[in-house]
Amino acid sequence: MESIWTAETKIRKRESLPGDRDVQAVVIGAGIAGILTAYYLKQAGIDTIVLEADRIGSGQTKNTTAKITSQHGLIYDNLIQTFGKRMAQHYAQANENAVSEYENLILEKKIACDFVRCPAYLYSEKEETRLRREAEAAETLGIAASFERTSELPFPVAGTVRFGGQARFQPLKFLSGLAEEITVYEKTKVLRVDGMQVKTARGMVTAKHIIFASHFPFMNIPGYYFARMYQERSYVVAVEGAGTMEGMYRGIDKNGLSFRPYGKVLLIGGGNHRTGTDKQGGQYDRLRKKAQTFYPECHETAHFSAQDCITLDGVPYIGRFSARKPEWYVAAGFGKWGMTSAMVSAHILSALITGKDCPEADIFSPGRRITAGAVKELFSHGAYTVKGLAKHLVPSGNGKTAPNCPHMGCRLEWNPQTQTFDCPCHGSRFDRNGRLIDGPAQTDCKKT
């Protein structure tokens, strides 16, 4: 289940941390958010290093569909209603700017990463009203958005919302190029952070600024991000022989699909579910059947899955980790929009650290007010945790047993699609032998 990006990209290996270091800033995580943040800090004259537990881009970045877009589902009408027009404008402008900043950076550094400007669409097969409302909301916030009735999709739609001037690229080619500008230590797993000290098995890093860009923050206290986010899996099949498509599409209907072209390949995505709650599987087969129905002459070239952190109100947490730890910073909860949110994170965090004005930081602040909708999500999320904690051991796919998740003790569930044990509470994942794949857990499962 190797992604199409991984299959065609080899990133140069880096050495591990050679011993204790004193730096101005340390970034934990060498995904696209971590590398971009380190790059802009370096540009600002901040001595910065990146610590990566595995390899550059080995986490969630390698499994993205790599859309660079300010179109994040049905969000803008809700943001205006929830946070007001000013803060909604900050969200919209930050993400619109991110698209342009990618283009500028790619041109400046001459990074060959298949960057293409293109429109992005929301679509529905049956609903028009919500699409029209979203187009109007986005337009009032300064986005080039419009409601349309036509599409490139192989089935009729009730309408689309078109965002002009968006983009797509090859994320690992971009990451490989930009990482050459940064000091990255691979195979250097962070074990704990105490104050201004980052502890690893290969030495200790002391820094004035510590940035958590590791997808899901592994320090439970302060911040309590384990109670403020959950993780969701989604699936992609890549097919050839499906013709050409210029735009990128995302369905708003239940079980809606996403479509994203890359050269001769079309990525068809869907099957979203909370991590650890899909015992029956079948997501890839459903996508394959859809692909064959829409494009009878197509054939599969790859399939892979992604994991996304979802916040209580749908807006990422970007800013100071907690009021109790002013030297810590976080970039997490990007939802399905990791590429754009990574660039937004880099700008907000570098501005905070260097003391620059950053008006758009308010909407993304982890300390923003909790909305009524977020409170409802908090209780729903808590119910999964209570249920997971109440369970015990689960039989594994190879006839042995797997213990509860070492993060907070929730029972793991077997995912037949990915052949992994997944935690329904906070999204940690392990292979069938108990080896850690995704956090926030920091250790393997102990065999029983």
pLDDT band at 223 (very low <50, low <70, confident <90, very high): confident
State the pairing for strand pair 317-322/325-332.
antiparallel
Q: Are 430 and 445 in contact (CB under 8 A)?
A: yes
254-277: average pLDDT? 90
In eight-state DSSP terms, residue 443 is: S
59-88: per-residue pLDDT in tens?
A: 889 899 999 999 999 999 999 999 999 999
Q: Which residues of the chain are in CATH 3.50.50.60 domains? A: 4-64+173-227+314-369
Provide the residue type at 241 as one letter: G
The separation between CA 204 and the C-alpha centre of its own chain, rounded to angstroms, equals 28
Q: What percent of the chain has pLDDT over 70?
A: 91
Using the structure block, give the residue that is written with the tokens 């691979």: 186
- Beta-bridged to residue 229, according to DSSP, are 311
pLDDT for 402 equals 53
Range name among 51-55, 187-191, 321-325, 443-447 with the lowest pLDDT average: 443-447
pLDDT for 267 equals 97
279-292: per-residue pLDDT in tens?
A: 677 889 899 999 99
pLDDT for 447 equals 53
Q: Does domain 4-64+173-227+314-369 have CATH number 1.50.10.10?
A: no
163-187: average pLDDT? 96
More confident residue, 439 or 155: 155
pLDDT for 369 equals 74
Question: CA of 399: how far to CAs of 279, 396, 414, in Å?
Answer: 16, 5, 12
201-209: average pLDDT? 95
108-167: per-residue pLDDT in tens?
A: 999 999 999 999 999 999 999 999 999 999 999 999 999 999 999 999 999 999 999 999
- The sign of the torsion formed by the CA atoms of 166, 164, 302, 257 equals positive
Using the structure block, give the residue that is written with the tokens 């015992």: 279
* CATH value of 393-438 in 2.102.10.10, 3.40.50.300, 3.40.50.720, 2.60.40.1180: 2.102.10.10
355-407: per-residue pLDDT in tens?
A: 999 999 999 999 887 766 666 665 565 555 555 555 544 444 444 455 688 88
Q: Which residues of the chain are in CATH 2.102.10.10 domains? A: 393-438
State the pairing for strand pair 116-124/248-251.
parallel
pLDDT for 60 equals 84
Question: Whose CA is closest to 341, among 318, 358, 320?
Answer: 318
pLDDT for 385 equals 56
172-183: average pLDDT? 96
Rounded Cα distance between 22 and 208, Å, is: 9
- Beta-bridged to residue 440, according to DSSP, are none
